[in-house]
Amino acid sequence: MIIQRVVLNSRPGKNGVPVAENFQLEQRTIADTVQAGQVRVKTLYLSVDPYMRCRMNEDTGSDYLRPWQLSEVADGGGIGVVEESKHDNFTKGDFVTSFTWPWQTVAILDGSLLQKLVPQLVNGRLSYFLGAAGITGLTALLGIREKGHVAAGANQTMVVSGAAGACGSLAGQIGRLEGCSRVVGIAGTDEKCSILVQEMGFDAAINYKKGDVAKRLRELCPNGVDVYFDNVGGDISDTVISQMNQNSHIILCGQISQYNKDVPYPPPLPPDIEKIQKERNITRERFLVLNYMDKQEASVLQLCQWIQEGKLKVRETVVEGLENIGAAFQSMMSGGNIGKQIVSVSK
């Protein structure tokens, strides 16, 4: 059987900016037969995520992320439909997902690595299982619950950087649902800021490319910052941390401003900001969703319930065609998207 797949064509270098040409579409032949325990799947959706930038390096800088190999197929979160199964848990027509889905049109996968999906849980929007009801939503929800120490009625203010992105746009909404009394987002365009306030229920949003971010934060968070959902790192995070309260909490989700730099993760804070963190007893701990897999099922059901009730607004940027996944990756890394970046593979 002839399929199409996307391989890593070149590395951008530790300090380089990824471009579409780092990936290459090619044809490949795969077996026509499915062995015991295997499932043949047709790919429907693939997820494009900021963490994948680390996988483009020879060394990801992480003990839980495997680097993509040159001339080998890339992989990540994916969804497909079963075409043939020799695994007891799946039958033809089942919708399934995996964290390690190859970027190709059809694949033969080990059935033990797949999870069955129930489309009704997300009102038939299968792609949501790669975003709001998938690893992205889990990252936001578990990050807030495990590291944010949000308590209903405590009059807490949350700030979210990268707030218009896949995780940030959910985190602000979840912070509100979990009990924060005020939620302020930081994003890079007026359009994104408008969407955060008018569509997603943020109290306010700051365009960091315009004006004085520190001044705007003081105006919008007059009682200081209690919870900071940090997606970006760098100067923006330094500015937020300087206005955080005693015994407040940083949810260290991502550091996208640092992903094209050869620095450790999480990047160290400047000495003056580190001093503030220590003096004010501000927690700043990295967290991995994989460490909370015992809470995955209940958390996904909670996310799905909020989606069904209309309490969690979901934004997606959908790119059609496997051949465009490199361009989608480049666009995502440039911060041009609102919400989750998805590639629709099946035509």
Instruction: Give 322: exposed, middle or buried? Use CB within 10 Å, 0-12, 13-18, 19+.
Output: buried
Question: Which CATH number belongs to the domain containing residue 269 in this structure?
Answer: 3.40.50.720
Domain boundary among 253, 273, 290: 290
Question: Which CATH number belongs to the domain containing residue 61 in this structure?
Answer: 3.90.180.10
Q: What is the domain range of residue 189?
A: 135-290
More confident residue, 51 or 258: 51
102 and 197 in a common domain: no
273 and 139 in a common domain: yes
Q: Answer whether residue 264 shows pLDDT above 60.
A: no
Q: Answer whether residue 88 shows pLDDT above 80.
A: yes
- List of residues 6+ apart from 135 with CB closer than 8 A: 47, 77, 99, 289
Residue 74 has which token pair? 């890339």
- List of residues 6+ apart from 274 with CB closer than 8 A: 268
Q: Enumerate the H helices of the chain as residue ranges.
A: 52-55, 135-143, 166-178, 190-198, 213-220, 234-241, 271-279, 296-308, 325-333
Question: Is residue 299 domain-resident?
Answer: no
pLDDT tens digit sequence for 285-326: 878 888 898 999 999 999 999 999 999 999 999 999 999 999
Give yes or no for a cis peptide into 266 (omega within 30° of 0).
yes
Question: Is residue 265 domain-resident?
Answer: yes
Q: Answer whether residue 260 shows pLDDT above 60.
A: no
The residue-averaged pLDDT of 74-100 equals: 97
152 and 282 in a common domain: yes
Count of domains observed in the chain: 2
pLDDT tens digit sequence for 41-68: 999 999 999 889 989 999 887 778 899 9
Could you give the percent of the chain with pLDDT greater than 90? Answer: 82
Question: Is residue 296 domain-resident?
Answer: no
259 and 164 in a common domain: yes
**How far is residue 218's CA from residue 98's CA, in Å, rounded to a whole number?**
43
Question: Is residue 89 domain-resident?
Answer: yes
pLDDT at residue 265, as a whole number? 57
284 and 172 in a common domain: yes
184 and 87 in a common domain: no
DSSP string across 278-343: HHTT-EEEE--GGGGGGGHHHHHHHHHHHHHTT-S---EEEEE-GGGHHHHHHHHHTT--SBEEEE
pLDDT at residue 255, as a whole number? 57
pLDDT at residue 262, as a whole number? 42
pLDDT tens digit sequence for 228-255: 999 988 899 999 999 999 999 999 986 5
- Dihedral sign, CA of 54, 287, 132, 202? negative
Q: What is the DSSP letter of 203?
A: S
Question: Is residue 295 domain-resident?
Answer: no
Residue 149 has which token pair? 């120490």
pLDDT at residue 51, as a whole number? 86
Q: Grade residue 214 by pLDDT with cuts at 50, 70 and 90.
A: very high
Task: Tell whether pTM > 0.75.
Answer: yes
174 and 58 in a common domain: no
163 and 52 in a common domain: no
Contact 164, 185 (CB under 8 A): yes
- Classified as helix, coil or strand, 125 is coil
Question: Is residue 57 domain-resident?
Answer: yes
108 and 6 in a common domain: yes
Question: Is residue 67 domain-resident?
Answer: yes
270 and 320 in a common domain: no
**How far is residue 166's CA from residue 143's CA, in Å, rounded to a whole number?**
14
154 and 277 in a common domain: yes
41 and 10 in a common domain: yes
Domain boundary among 249, 273, 290: 290
Question: Is residue 111 domain-resident?
Answer: yes
